[in-house]
A and B are shown apart, each in its own frame.
Chain A
Amino acid sequence: MTRNVSICAMAQIKNQPAIWQHRFQGMLIDCFESIMEQTNVTFDMDKGIRNVVTCSDDVFDARTISDAAVTDVVGAHFRGEEKVAQDGISALGYAMACILSGHDDLILVMGHCKESQSESRNMCTNLAFDPFYSRPLGLDYLNAAALQARAYMEETGLTDEHLANIVVRSRKNGARTRHARDNEQLSVREVMESPLLADPIRKMHNYPVTDWAVGFLLCCDERAHEFTDNPVRLTGFGSCMDSYFLGDRELVSNFALKKACARAYAMAGITDPAKELDLVELSDACAYQLPLWAEGTGITGKARGPAWMEAGGMDKHHVNLSGGMLNGNPLMLGGLARAAYGFTQLQGKAGTNQVTGLRKALAHGTTGAAGQHHAVLILEK
């Protein structure tokens, strides 16, 4: 049986530093109601949504079984609901599987994260480390990223100035993206003079604390016309989990990302990503990750990141025209934000950063310290 799957609708709120005036449930309701309004989809058990996939994180929500707190506001009562507790792009992959398998025609994917609720994002990510060998040492995603950043810079010659250019460009692109976090525009010098958090990562190299929620309605192709006249097809998905301990991994080998891409490309029939992908959205929580992940996707070669940047690769391959995660999306939702932007571009609604003649886009998400898990989604018009 061959079946295809499309995103029919996407709704999001604006990425903001602290949405104090809204509970995360309220953030989701805004997205949920927008999808209802855009599509007139129902919760009829024969023809409507029978299954919802959510993405949230227990620690950020300060409660266990975090999805239980939102099932009512995402329409999940009296039907199936399953939670993805890693980067939300896996929720889209899971929703695809539900539809491609014939199990469901329609899946609602809803994700939220309110990073501002916790006193410290780093304290939250410290809890991702095993309590025995690593957690007592104060490891968190930031200092783990710093270990990876240094390794990448030592391998490729990526400089502090390269990093500053990535940040400056991210802020510029973010300012042109609807729903992106409002950030100050920065000069290269301002980035290079921002304080070091964990060498070589400076404050401005690290994505800012952000609150956000998003929803997607996925549907099998044959029924997509019931909900939209502008669907975007999902043609490939792949994911791969690398070893848990940092020391077990080659930190700059992109092992898991390459595997994830290989699976997604095979599914989407992509043989030359550098030529075939018209838009690439990477989850770059820290600036150094943009060229590193770019290498992993195959749009440039191993250790070629800095040279690729200097040759204008970021603009040539339309990488992170959204501003990327670096401009501000919460943890867990980096991949969903990438997919949301890919969807917006493929629908032709990306405003001043709209790419013309766009056909294939890649959205990437990653979970865990220094990119333990990677997932890649291919979107097509």
Chain B
Amino acid sequence: MTTETKDCFTIDGKLALPYQYFAGSTGSRFIISLREEKKITGLKCNKCNKVFVPPRSTCEVCFEDISDNWVELPNTGTVTGFTIVRYEEPHQPLKPPYITALVKLDGADTPFAHIVKGIPFSKMKTGLRVEAVFAKKTTATIMDIDHFRPVTQRPGFELGYTYDQLEEGMSASFTKTISETDVYLFAGISGDFNPMHLNEEFAKATPLGTRIAHGALPQSLIAPVLGMKLPGLGTIALEVTTRFKAPTYFGDTITATGEIVEKLPERRWVRMALTFTNQHNKLVAEGSALVMPPVPMDKE
């Protein structure tokens, strides 16, 4: 047999056949729950109690028709097996390397295959607890579950309100009495040793007749509100503006209040109205803040 390549021809073909595949009434119901309610559902055999995910209309063991015996399953489950796909080919859903795992949802008996993200490969293990992350946009396929990720280990502190949890009208405040010590420390912090704040005899000669606190001192009391109360831990302040309305005297008790006045959906930021009042309910300053509320901490 000759192995001469001259005058040998090959046909470069590609099988690409558009087709439609009916998911079946069972598969369709599974997808509708996923698409409309972000709920994963299974079918349960009442005879052997096995819960099938993906759902099957008939129990293969008992031959029972179980097509109406839907059960709703939680979004959490356990990895029963996995691999790290490292070869790259066109049929893959994402660029390797990535984790393909078998995930058994809590309450289901049959694990099903999906992608796991959000964990270093070296820490991936059978038995890992995971939760479903739903796709931002539905495609009405199994990819409405975008992937699974490790169930978030709650840190020792609670993050503040996320953008989605915040509503206009929510408010929080922080109260503190301003002492001579506070003013003197603030002078040191800012370098502002103006005798107006520190020297009573000098202050007596001014129109106010006594020492007053630095304007930025009561203003700074909004920081614990934004960063620790509303929205809370994880907030990034982007802009704080204040207009001083009245002086703060030594011994005054100042309340700094922030209120959500506008949600900016495009950037997922919020605008807050700020007020600073003293013990007589007199407004000493007012202003506004623009902040980025906390986002979940897992890095993706």
B242 within 8 A of A: no
- Expressed in whole angstroms, the minimum distance between the Cβ of A366 and any Cβ of chain B is 19
Number of residues of chain A lying within 8 A (CB) of chain B: 40
Known contacts A138-B100, A140-B91, A198-B87; decide if A132 and B142 are in contact (CB<8 Å): yes
Q: Please tell me if the beta carbons of B86 and A197 are within 8 angstroms of each other in the complex.
A: yes
Q: Write out the residue numbers on chain A whose beta carbons fall within 8 Å of the beta carbon of B92.
A: 138
Measured between beta carbons, the chain B residues less than 8 angstroms from A251 are 81
Cβ of A312 within 8 Å of any chain B Cβ, yes or no, is: no
Q: Mark B59-102, 1 if CB is under 8 A from A, else 0.
A: 01000000000000000000011111111011111100000101
| Interfacial chain B residues near A126, Cβ < 8 Å | 91
User: Which listed segment binds A: B108-116, B159-167, B168-176?
Assistant: B108-116
Question: What is the CB-to-nearest-CB distance from B143 to chain A, in angstroms, rounded to a whole number?
Answer: 6
- A contact residues around B190 at 8 Å (CB): none
Q: 0/1 per residue, B2-14, Cβ < 8 Å to A? A: 1100001010010
* B189 contacts partner chain A, Cβ-Cβ < 8 Å: no
Find chain A residues with CB under 8 A from B83 CB. Answer: 143, 146-147, 149-150, 198-201
Roughly how many angstroms separate A21 CA and B90 CA in the complex, as a whole number? Answer: 27
- Interchain CB contact under 8 A, A122 and B87: yes
**Contact of A21 with B112 in the complex, beta carbons under 8 Å:** no
Q: Which of A242-250, A271-279, A289-297 touches B?
A: A242-250
The distance from the CB of B35 to the nearest CB of chain A, in whole angstroms, is: 14
On whether the beta carbons of A195 and B86 are closer than 8 Å, the reply is: yes
Q: Are A247 and B112 in contact (CB under 8 A)?
A: yes
**A132–B126 touching, CB < 8 Å:** no
A137 near B110 with CB under 8 A, answer no
B2 near A21 with CB under 8 A, answer yes
* Minimum Cβ distance to chain B for residue A29 (Å): 12
Min CB distance A202 to B, Å, is: 10
B60 to chain A, nearest CB (A): 6
Of A22, A120, A247, which is within 8 A of B90 by CB?
A120
Contacts of A247 in B (CB 8 A): 53, 80, 102, 104, 110-113
Q: Which residues of B contact A200 (CB under 8 A)?
A: 83
Query: Which residues from A are CB-within-8-Å of B141?
Result: 132, 136
B residues within 8 A CB of A137? 93, 100, 113-115, 142
Q: Tell me whether B23 is interfacial, beta carbon within 8 Å.
A: yes
State how many residues of chain B have any CB contact under 8 Å with chain A.
41
Decide: B60 and A243 in contact? CB cutoff 8 A: yes
Say yes or no: A198-B112 contact (C-beta < 8 A), given A131-B21, A132-B23: no
Q: Roughly how many angstroms separate A143 CA and B100 CA in the complex, as a whole number?
A: 8
| Contact status A197-B110, CB under 8 Å | no
Q: A138 and B15: CB pair below 8 A?
A: no
Identify A154's interface contact among B27, B60, B104, B126, CB under 8 A.
B126
Q: Tell whether, in the assembled complex, residue B93 and residue A138 are in contact, meaning their CB atoms are under 8 Å apart.
A: yes
Which residues of chain A are near B89, meaning CB under 8 Å?
A: 120, 122-123, 138, 140
Please report the C-alpha to C-alpha distance between residue A243 and residue B86 in the assembled complex, in whole angstroms: 27
Contact (Cβ within 8 A) B84 A198: yes
Q: Is the CB of B91 within 8 A of A122?
A: yes
B90 touches A143 (CB 8 A): no
Chain A residues within 8 Å of B1, by CB: 21-22
In angstroms, Cα B93 to Cα A335, docked, is 32
CB-CB nearest in chain B for A197: B87
Q: Which of these, B3, B23, B82, B91, contacts A138 with CB under 8 Å? A: B91
User: For A69, what are the chain B residues with a Cβ–Cβ distance below 8 Å?
Assistant: none
Taking each of A143, A247, A248, A251, which has the highest tally of chain B beta carbons within 10 Å of its own beta carbon? Answer: A247
Q: How far is the CB of B62 from chain A (nearest CB, A)?
A: 14
Could you tell me the distance between the alpha carbons of A190 and B84 in the complex, rounded to whole angstroms? 21
CA distance A135 to B143 in the complex (A): 11
Contact B85 A138 (CB under 8 A): yes
* Complex: A59 Cα to B14 Cα, angstroms: 11
What chain A residues lie within 8 Å of B224 (beta carbons)?
Answer: none
Contacts of B54 in A (CB 8 A): 132-133, 245
A132 to B84, CA, bound (A): 22
A150 to B127, CA, bound (A): 13
Chain B residue numbers with a CB within 8 Å of A131 are 21
In A93-142, which residues have CB < 8 Å from any B CB?
120, 122-123, 126, 131-140, 142
**Measured CA separation A278–B27 after assembly (Å):** 48
Question: Counting chain A CB atoms within 10 Å of each CB, which of B21, B84, B85 scores highest?
Answer: B85
User: Once the chains are docked, how many angstroms separate the CA of A135 from the CA of B91?
Assistant: 8
Given A133-B54, A136-B142: A245 touches B81 (CB 8 Å cut-off): no
> Residue of B at shortest CB range from A21?
B3
Nearest chain B CB to A27 CB, angstrom units: 11
Q: Does B113 lie within 8 Å of A134, measured CB to CB? A: yes
Chain B residues near A135: list those with CB within 8 A.
91
Verify if A68 is at the interface (C-beta below 8 Å from B).
Answer: no
* Whole-angstrom distance between the Cβ of B239 and the nearest chain A Cβ: 44
Q: Contact at A136–B85, with CB atoms within 8 Å?
A: no
A65 at the interface (CB under 8 A from B): no
Minimal beta-carbon separation of B205 from chain A (angstroms): 80
Q: Are B15 and A62 in contact (CB under 8 A)?
A: yes
Interface residues of A in 197-222 (CB under 8 A from B): 197-201
A142 to B85 CA separation, bound complex (whole angstroms): 9
- When the two chains form their complex, are residues B110 and A147 in contact, meaning their CB atoms are under 8 A apart? no
With A120-B89, A143-B100, A247-B110 as known contacts, state yes or no: A133 contacts B126, CB within 8 Å: no
Closest B-chain residue to A120, C-beta based?
B89
**Is A151 an interface position by the 8 A CB rule?**
yes
B112 adjacent to A133 (CB under 8 Å): yes
Does the CB pair A246–B102 fall under 8 Å? yes
Binding site for B on A (CB under 8 A): 20-22, 59, 62, 120, 122-123, 126, 131-140, 142-143, 146-147, 149-151, 154, 195-201, 243, 245-248, 251
Q: What are the nearest 9 A-B pairs in CB distance?
A: A146-B83, A247-B111, A138-B92, A126-B91, A247-B110, A199-B84, A198-B83, A133-B54, A147-B81
Listed by A's residue number, 9 A-B pairs whose Cβ atoms lie within 8 Å are: A21-B2, A62-B13, A132-B21, A132-B23, A133-B142, A137-B142, A138-B93, A140-B89, A247-B80
Contacts A62-B13, A150-B83, A247-B102 supplied; 20 other A-B pairs, CB < 8 Å:
A20-B8, A21-B1, A122-B87, A122-B89, A123-B90, A132-B54, A133-B142, A135-B91, A137-B100, A138-B85, A138-B92, A138-B94, A143-B85, A146-B83, A147-B113, A201-B83, A247-B111, A247-B113, A248-B52, A251-B81
